Structure 1
Amino acid sequence: MNTFAIIFVTVIVTRTLWDILLDWLNLRYTLSPTSTVPEVLKDKLTMEDFAKAKSYLKDRTYFGILSKLVSLAVDLVLILKIFPLLENLVSSKGSVMLQAILFFALYYLIAKIVDLPFRVYSIFVIEQKYGFNTTTPRLFVRDEIVSTLLTAAIGFPIIAIVVLLLKYPVWWWQLSIIAILFVVFFSFIQPILIAPLFYKFTKLEDEELEKKINQILEKAKIKIPNIFKMDASKRTKKQNAYVTGIGKSRRLVLFDTILSYSHEEILAVVAHELGHHVRRHLPKLIILNALFIAFVLYLTNWTYSFINSAKIFGVSQPYTNFAYAFMFISSLMFFIEPLINLFSRKMEYEADEYSAKLLGTPEPLISSLKRLVKENLSNPNPMPLYKAWHYSHPAPEERIKHLLEMKI
């Protein structure tokens, strides 16, 4: 094995082992005798609730570690054995573009088959055990078929574009522009074309709540064309709400599972989502994503050129070398996730602040955060280092403390 191949394997292994170590340390931290319910949550979260949350965390952590070890083994086999075999299998099947589509289709199929038992166990055993799952086997199969067809419909044109650009020595900036335009376009069509393939969106039946939401929108001077209820309860009992879309496709969506909350709590969650809009977080995220995409593709282009010229893995086709290069750089990006999460957490604090100021009080948002922790069995006491890597939102305790320290 040559030097770069050794570095490649080392990065893949190190990433997974570090992630597993974070999972294990977070579990030990939460299960330690000194771990207790944070003071700001004690009025809502009993020790019985905490024990159930710890049990949920334990089950998910052990299962996650097993899943990651299997994924690591599969990645190593793909790198060292399967990719060359797939290239050899498709190399006589017409044009390079057709070969690339077949190559990545088989790659996706392998990943899907490996992941499927873990998804089934996660949904129908772990989530079922803790009362979250409402997905039927029939609905699960339907979702898998739809997601596979959707992946093919989106993925094949992308693969075709990549293959066309790989003919040039420097292609990262062209592909970056196309990728950014696609992200913006997808943000526009996702609410109106993609999401309805999986969920049913209907008008709010609670006219009083809709009136209050419209009043909040008017106070915030924000125009959102549509307010919808989503039938999330067909798949889970967990609660959420979000604002999605761009321009005329923008919409406010409430999980039907959150409608058991008081109007004030729902309005606080809605105001938080509006805070992302007012603070221009979407444009900021688009710019950040554009820079990140360009950075990743620049490194991928450099790595691709190196692998292609050095014939490191014994393959010759551009799509195979691209697969190696992209997998390597994607693995490296795991190590800068704390920086990305830090930026994301800052935006969440800003959205919380906006919610409290718009409503004139932080209490409804604090109440809703406490309910979310209790009812979703969230870990109320995660390890700080784990949060750096895996929390795009501040921990509920941190959000509540921040809200309590605010001056309205």
Structure 2
Amino acid sequence: MRRWPRRWWLPGAGLGLGASAALTFVAPILIEPLFGRTTPLQDPRLVADVQELARRAGVRVEKVLVSDASRRTTAVNAHVSGVGRSRRVVFWDTLLQQFSGREARVVVAHELSHVVHRDIPRGLALLAIVIGPATRATAVLAEALTRPGAGHPDGRGGALPVSVPAVFLASSLVGTLLASASGQLSRAIERRADDDALRWSRDPAAMVEFQQKIVVSNLGDPDPRGPARLMQLLLGTHPTTLDRIAAAVRFATEAGIPLPSPRPPVLGPGDGGAR
């Protein structure tokens, strides 16, 4: 900021976009293997299911792998990475340990939707469009927060620098506004991915079961209320668990696919029986 007191936001925008692109396209190929080992999935039935889902989605998948994610986390995930002949589906072993093959199958179907709709490249393109104006807005706000004249000539041919705390505060304010807008877009994309997963898997029961389990595993709130609901509306990147379950039930009804009856809740010690 001292070298470019009035134009520091330009290299800042370039660095931000470059870092995002590198993490998106380079990390799965060069960085991801450094933190975990992948091996071919040894479940022929699940491999065949993944290949069939990929065929329905119109995506070519070369490999179906398992990552030893349990060495560093208890979180569950699966993803599709690479392009062309290097494209592969990677299950975290935690997903296969904690969830059924049917549930893992709908997770992969969801991830394939992101590939079909090129959600990641489109997200980067959108970032390329907004990051310049966003960093410029941050710079203007930071100048206003610092003091009158910041970023303008100081009488000696230079310019008064903008303070770092002001930049952090300004970026937080601008970032919150951007996060709210991007959260709404992200929720729409995730709903579409769920819809695709239901169409390709034809297994709404597995989707319901997965959502019921994952919210417990993640200690999440299936139906946020009050302040939590406001935070979900402002910053949430995914639909709520109840919204996703409702979408699966709606799909089952429209497609004429029967769902199993809800299981009774598990009673803890002291809960007793009928009251």
Q: CA offset at residue 400 of structure 1?
A: 0.7
- Alignment partner for residue 310 of structure 1, among 145, 149, 159? 149
Verify: 1:397 aligned to 2:242, yes or no: yes
**CA RMSD of superposed structures (Å):** 3.0
Once the two structures are superposed, the pairs formed by residues 272-351 of structure 1 within 5 Å of their partners are 272-303=110-141, 307=146, 310=149, 321=162, 323-332=164-173, 333-351=175-193
Query: For the structure 1 residues 321 and 221, does the alpha-carbon distance in structure 2 shift closer, same or farther, using more than 3 Å as the test?
Result: same
Compared CA separation, residues 325 and 228, structure 1 to 2 (3 A): farther
Q: Cα gap change, 1:358/1:341 in structure 2, threshold over 3 Å: closer, same or farther? A: same
Instruction: Identify if the C-alpha distance between structure 1 residues 301 and 238 changes in structure 2 by more than 3 Å, giving closer, same or farther.
Output: closer
Q: Kindly state the Cα deviation for residue 296 of structure 1 after the two structures are TM-superposed.
A: 2.2
Aligned residue identity for 2:232: K
Amino acid at match of 1:242: H
Counterpart for residue 96 of structure 1: none
| 1:25 aligned residue | none
In structure 2, C-alpha distance between the alignment counterparts of 1:357 and 1:259, rounded to whole Å: 22
In structure 2, what is the Cα distance between the partners aligned to 1:238 and 1:197?
Answer: 18
Letter in 2 for 1:327: F
Distance in structure 1 (CA, Å) of the matches to 2:84 and 2:147: 42
Change over 3 Å in CA distance of 1:242–1:323 after alignment to 2:
farther
Q: Deviations over 1:126-170 (max 9, x none)?
A: xxxxxxxxxxxxxxxxxxxxxxxxxxxxxxxxxxxx776x26x44
Aligned partner of 1:372 among 214, 239, 244: 214
What's the CA shift for 1:309? 7.0
Say whether the 8 Å CA contact 1:279–1:350 is kept in structure 2. no
Partner of 1:120: none
Alignment of 1:174-213 (within 5 A): 175-213=12-50
Secondary structure of the corresponding residue to residue 162 of structure 2: helix
Q: Alpha-carbon deviation of 1:233?
A: 1.4
- Segments of 5+ residues of structure 1 without an aligned counterpart are 1-161
Q: Which is bigger in relative contact order (C-alpha 8 A, separation at least 6)?
A: 1
**% identity of equivalent residues:** 28
Corresponding letter in the other structure for 1:294:
G
Output the TM-score relative to the length of structure 2: 0.74
Alignment-derived partner of residue 237 in structure 1? 74
User: Counterpart of 1:398 in structure 2: which amino acid?
Assistant: D
**Gap change, CA 1:399 and 1:173, over 3 Å in 2:** same
CA separation in 2, counterparts of 1:241 and 1:345? 19
Offset at residue 288 of structure 1 (A): 2.5
User: Could you tell me how far apart the structure 1 residues matched to 2:143 and 2:74 are?
Assistant: 48
Quote how far apart the aligned CAs of 1:376 are. Answer: 3.1
Residue number in structure 2 paired with 1:357? 199
Q: Which runs of 5+ in 2 are unaligned?
A: 152-157, 256-275
Q: How many residues align?
A: 241
- Higher-helix-fraction structure: 1
Is the 1:173–1:294 Cα contact (8 Å) retained in structure 2?
yes
Equivalences for residues 52-67 of structure 1 within 5 A: none
Q: Is the 8 A contact 2:65 2:89 kept in 1?
A: yes
Calculate the TM-score normalised by the size of structure 1. 0.52
Distance in 2, matches of 1:310 and 1:250, equals 52
Q: Deviations over 1:286-338 (max 9, x none)?
A: 123223322321123334666487359xxxx99x7363353122210224533
* Structure-2 change in CA distance of 1:309 and 1:225 (3 Å): farther
Q: Quote the Cα distance in structure 2 between the aligned partners of 1:250 and 1:309.
A: 53
